[in-house]
Amino acid sequence: MGFGGRGMSAVMQSPRVLSLIPPMTQLNTPYPSTAYLTGFLRSQGVDAVQQDLALALVLRLFSADGLARVREHIATLSPSARTPLVEGFDTHFDLYQGTVGPVIAFLQGRDSTVAHRICSRRFLPEGPRFDALDVYVDPDDPEGGDPLAWAFGALGMQDRARHLATLYLNDLADVLRDAVDERFEFVRYAESLAQAQPTFEPLAQALAAPHNLVDDLLAELTLAAIEREAPQVVLLSVPFPGAVYAAFRIAQTIKSRHPQIVTLLGGGFVNTELRELTEARVFDYFDYVMLDAGERPLLALLEHLKGKRSQQRLVRTYVRDGESGKVRYINFMEADVPFEQIGTPTWDGLPLDHYLSLLDMLNPMHRLWSDGRWNKLTVAHGCYWKKCSFCDVSLDYISRYETASAATLVDRIEAIIAETGQTGFHFVDEAAPPKMLRALAEELLRRNVAISWWGNIRFEKSFTPDLCQLLADSGCIAISGGLEVASDRLLKLMKKGVSVDQVARVTHGFTEAGILVHAYLMYGFPTQTVHDTVDALEYVRQLFAAGCIQSGFFHRFVCTVHSPVGKNPEEYGVTLLPLPEISFAKNDVGFHDPSGVDHNSLGEALNKALYNYMHGIGLEDDVRRWFTGRVPRTSVPRDFVALALAAGR
């Protein structure tokens, strides 16, 4: 029996599984997929280990040796290929090489005293990213001397230094992008090669190109991990399009040096975009591609590799047929592992003291995504609401809703604290159910377990002020939730199940309990008019001014093939544009909205307004000031949120 058409040995004895996090995911904390899978596999008696190559690559690049290799590459460039940024790096190389080590150690929390030198503004070389400091001015003293004093105050030296160090790293990332790899990003690395790409060709061409310095370093790290762990099976979990290119480079390196190793591809990107995969070239890199929750497919595959299960009994797995060379999807119907039984994630093998706490955004809520080492955990699998018209409600990660008991969840929390020594938790649910959060809070308090936690919810009326206070007492410091377009008409069309006045009361209840609130916001939804957009911004302004929300993020609506809008566009007044023939990734789909609104220009205004609101600026101004062209006056009463809050008392 051959595996993936490679003619490999038919039977493996208890294969060792190495799960890898590919670049780029997060730098402040491990992406949780490998921790979940490693913990589950170990609970099943499988020899399982994990490595974070995303972090390893950044630490290798941003080191004295890594910067020296960047400079060596710059020396090979023609003068016309050197941007002013690259020239500045080359000119001040000694400063960069001498400071990169202390900066990394500081951001890892290993050397706090260097904050004094960073804050002096005479220690770090400052490139264009530091120009952003000009926006931090005291509204009451715009001519003041220190632009960061207003943002951080006299006592915030560590935060001030972390922000300056983050700007320094961003400058260096820009140098890498200009001189070495134009696709380099800390998060969205080369994502255009994979995101909604109908064919494999752009990725294939990139993978066939000669290695650049980033590719070379990633290959070195990959081979070192293989030598260190000696696996028979390597699993690459790819959550985002921005991790796909590097995952394929890793698999390419493994197959070139260790062709006998079985390589697997899974994760959020695969679950969302590769559901109609027919591209056989993917299997030059990966022997198997798996969909949805990985526990059951992995157990089935390991049994297959040990000769205890035929290939025909694999679960949710793509293979390349050894005879025809075509892609086959095999899905032997077998129940998923219940959420109650998936076990406790483990971070064993991940260098928890080497992650970088960055401070991109000064807003205290917004910074949580990049600052601090959070243990990521799930309260429930899937979404209990699963009705929102813009969401991929037809896919397993949304549609299959399962919970575990509060006792089980707190058992997992206690085990994770014992392993990591860290008491910060980020619950990464699509929307944590209020009933489960209440039970979890009561169990934490009953056991006297002290943690700090934050997570994602729906702004529904079940979150009463009493429940908000209970959650705060249990350690909740922040929550995020979808307000989307702040318009009752559009919220109803979206099937959000909430109204603007309800959101105001719920978010105010969290704020009153001392819990920070972040709102996910959307623009460009089908039939959304310019007037809708202006009104939505007015609602958002009032929510900030009333202290209901402290942070937010506007994203442009994207229609996906798995959402209700993508499946039933006529119900939302739009027409889908035809998709090309697809053999690789399928997710985003264009549409024609007869309203004809230029949402791109509106988006610039929305994001500018929101950035200022998060810094407490412009909260009393007419929202029309943020738009460059003429827009209609808002029809929202200026006291709408105040009246909604008064009515809820």
Q: What pairs with residue 48 in β-bridges?
A: 17
Rounded mean pLDDT of the chain? 93
Task: Give the H or E element holding residue 149.
Answer: helix 149-152
649 confidence band (pLDDT: 50, 70, 90): confident
Residue 6 has pLDDT above 50, yes or no: no
What is the distance between the alpha carbons of residues 132 and 136, in angstroms, rounded to a whole number? 8
Residue 144 has pLDDT above 70, yes or no: no
Residue range 506-564, pLDDT digits in tens:
999 999 999 999 999 999 999 999 999 999 999 999 999 999 999 999 999 999 999 99
pLDDT value at position 146?
A: 57
pLDDT, mean of residues 137-165: 66
- The pLDDT > 90 percentage for the chain reads 89
Using alpha carbons only, give the angle 360, 215, 274 rounded to the nearest 5 degrees: 80
147 confidence band (pLDDT: 50, 70, 90): low
What is the distance between the alpha carbons of residues 311 and 379, in angstroms, rounded to a whole number? 34
Residue 595 has pLDDT above 80, yes or no: yes
Ramachandran bin of 326, using left for φ above 0, alpha for ψ from -120 to 50, beta for the remaining angles: beta
48-80: b (≥16 Cβ within 10 Å) or e: bbbbbbbbbbbbbbbeeebbebbbeebeeeeee
pLDDT value at position 336?
A: 95
pTM recorded for the entire structure: 0.93
Side by side, the strands of the sheet bearing 516-523 are: 375-377, 424-427, 452-457, 476-484, 516-523, 551-556
8 confidence band (pLDDT: 50, 70, 90): very low
- The pLDDT > 70 percentage for the chain reads 95
Tokens 């698999």 correspond to what residue? 251
What is the 3-state secondary structure of 343-399? CCCCCCCCCHHHCCCCCCCCCCCHHHHCCCCCEEECCEECCCCCCCCCCCCCCHHHH
43 confidence band (pLDDT: 50, 70, 90): very high
CA distances from 393 to 130, 280, 567, 591 (A): 42, 28, 11, 19
100 confidence band (pLDDT: 50, 70, 90): very high
Residue 92 has pLDDT above 50, yes or no: yes
Amino acid at the residue 50: Q
pLDDT value at position 644?
A: 94
pLDDT, mean of residues 485-489: 92
pLDDT, mean of residues 110-121: 95
Residue 322 has pLDDT above 80, yes or no: yes
CA distances from 67 to 162, 213, 246 (A): 21, 11, 20
User: What's the N-to-C CA distance of the chain in angstroms?
Assistant: 70
Comparing C-alpha atoms, which of 86, 91, 72 is closest to residue 128?
86
What is the distance between the alpha carbons of residues 86 and 582, in angstroms, rounded to a whole number? 39
Q: Judge contact between 489 and 532, C-beta under 8 A.
A: yes
Residue 142 has pLDDT above 90, yes or no: no
What is the distance between the alpha carbons of residues 106 and 158, in angstroms, rounded to a whole number? 9
pLDDT, mean of residues 581-604: 92
Residue range 373-428, pLDDT digits in tens:
999 999 999 999 999 999 999 999 899 999 999 999 999 999 999 999 999 999 99
Residue 9 has pLDDT above 50, yes or no: no
3 confidence band (pLDDT: 50, 70, 90): very low
191 confidence band (pLDDT: 50, 70, 90): very high
Residue range 205-215, pLDDT digits in tens:
999 999 999 99
pLDDT value at position 615?
A: 85
Q: How far is CA 139 from the centre of its chain?
A: 33
pLDDT value at position 648?
A: 75
Coil vs helix vs strand at 18:
strand
Residue range 298-320, pLDDT digits in tens:
999 999 999 999 999 999 999 99
Task: Give the H or E element holding residue 218.
Answer: helix 213-229
| DSSP H helices in 495-598 | 500-512, 530-545, 564-567
pLDDT value at position 629?
A: 87
Residue 618 has pLDDT above 80, yes or no: yes
pLDDT value at position 152?
A: 58
Amino acid at the residue 570: E
What is the distance between the alpha carbons of residues 239 and 191, in angstroms, rounded to a whole number? 12
Q: Judge contact between 223 and 18, C-beta under 8 A.
A: no
Residue 600 has pLDDT above 90, yes or no: no
Tokens 């509106």 correspond to what residue? 602
What is the distance between the alpha carbons of residues 445 and 474, in angstroms, rounded to a whole number? 6
pLDDT, mean of residues 131-149: 58
pLDDT value at position 7?
A: 40
Residue range 355-379, pLDDT digits in tens:
999 998 877 888 899 999 999 999 9
Q: What pairs with residue 290 in β-bridges?
A: 317
Q: Judge contact between 455 and 432, C-beta under 8 A.
A: yes
pLDDT value at position 141?
A: 52
pLDDT value at position 134?
A: 64
Residue 143 has pLDDT above 60, yes or no: no
Comparing C-alpha atoms, which of 592, 508, 572, 498 is closest to residue 544?
508
Residue 101 has pLDDT above 80, yes or no: yes
Q: At what angle do helices 640-647 and 500-512 cross, to 10 degrees?
A: 70
Question: pLDDT: is 516 or 147 the higher one?
Answer: 516
What is the distance between the alpha carbons of residues 186 and 493, in angstroms, rounded to a whole number? 36
Residue 138 has pLDDT above 70, yes or no: no
